[in-house]
Amino acid sequence: MTSYPMHTLDTAPAEAQAPLTVLRETFGFVPGAAAVMANSPALLNSFFSAFGHFRGGGTFTPAERQVLLLSNAVANTSEWAVAFHTLEALADGVPPEAVEAVRRGELPGDPRLAALSALTVAFIEKRGHLDEKDVHAFTSAGFGEEQLFEVITGVAISAMTNYSANVARPPLEPAVEPHAWTASA
């Protein structure tokens, strides 16, 4: 359990209530990472805005978006986020075998999803210093070079949730519990 407050709509600072309301309406619960991010309305509102643009104005399909977010969660060894994005990936149509591959730190069998996952992990591991091979593998799978910048958005929003969850260690919500994941040593 966490020593950081897990805010609800009743306990959150006024500036954090609007995004928590939308998240609760969207998922049926306030996700644990958001509940702890509400300790900093600046963090929660920055995440909420960036995620809204990523989801609403991005070019990735829902399944691609979830592969990107799940790959980030595994690369950041965020147990809460891996479980949450497993639930979301399956709901958004990512094949179960692709989800399991990413959870194991492997690439999905689908070449397009594999290229997206590999680029996402490369961004994190190389701290943005991609080489031509990374970019070529991504664009050869049918992605545009401009989508590299969209991956940066996904990496940035994941850093907010993954790091918050890694620091505060919120418990898994009942809907997420079946997808629990433990980082290997």
User: What's the pLDDT at 1?
Assistant: 47
Which pTM was predicted? 0.92
Whether the pLDDT of residue 80 is over 60: the answer is yes
Structure tokens at 152: 């940066």
Whether the pLDDT of residue 2 is over 90: the answer is no
Structure tokens at 38: 């509400």
Asked if residues 157 and 49 have their Cβ atoms less than 8 Å apart, the reply is no
Cα separation, 149 vs 93, in Å, equals 24
Mean pLDDT, the chain, rounded, equals: 92
